[in-house]
Amino acid sequence: MSSSLLNPVLLEISNELTPEQLEQIKFLCEDIGKKELEKIDTGTKLFRVLKERGKLALGNIEYLCKLLTEIRRDDLSDKLKGLIRKAGSTSAEPPDTEKAKFNIATEVIAENLGRHWRKLGRKLGLTDVKLESISKRHPTELEETAVELLNEWRRKRGAEARAEDLIKALRACQLNLTADKVEYRLATPKN
């Protein structure tokens, strides 16, 4: 699943928002800086910022649904939820299976990644600012740092996050032993 399913619905929602409702949503988005909020004059621009900040993706619509509900646009929130139900029913792999794979991959990577976590984070497309933020929260705990790094990446990717992508990124970072361990754990059923 990709943003090609989400974007048309977001465009439709943007077109249905009045300027006053857009201002109300912006008011509720306190964690977006004032200067950045001033530049936003359409719903599509707001949705782009929410995507960049990891607050909106095909598998992560809760934040936007909450905002729409708070401005009394339950109809638009329902439209967004309907897209997710439709997308989930066409998915080739059940989300629970992929979530389980991701959790196994996270566990193995956290145990084996060590000081190479920044390298992997960059390969996964996280910004240096985000990596520094993670580092400050866990300055001495490498396993916790790795877990938070992987969870941040999963939030950013939403429903598109796959354990296979993590394996590819590990190999691209020359962390082949860790990639092999992840593949082995995914292939070996736990008793």
**pTM beyond cutoff 0.85:** no
Residue type, 70: E
Q: Could you list the residue range(s) of the whole structural domain that residue 144 is in?
A: 95-187
**Domain end marker among 44, 59, 90:** 90
> 104 with 63, same domain?
no
Helices (H), 124-159: 128-137, 142-157
CATH number for the domain that contains residue 118: 1.10.533.10
Domain count for the chain: 2
**Domain end marker among 90, 114, 140:** 90
**Domain end marker among 60, 90, 120:** 90
Per-residue tens of pLDDT for the chain, all 191 residues: 355 677 888 888 888 888 999 899 889 887 788 888 888 888 888 888 888 888 887 777 888 888 888 998 888 888 888 776 665 544 444 456 778 888 888 888 888 888 888 898 889 888 888 888 888 887 788 888 888 888 888 888 877 778 888 889 989 989 889 889 988 888 876 64
> 73 with 132, same domain?
no
> 57 with 104, same domain?
no
- Classify burial at 139, counting beta carbons within 10 Å of its beta carbon; exposed 0-12, middle 13-18, buried 19 or more: exposed
> 154 with 177, same domain?
yes
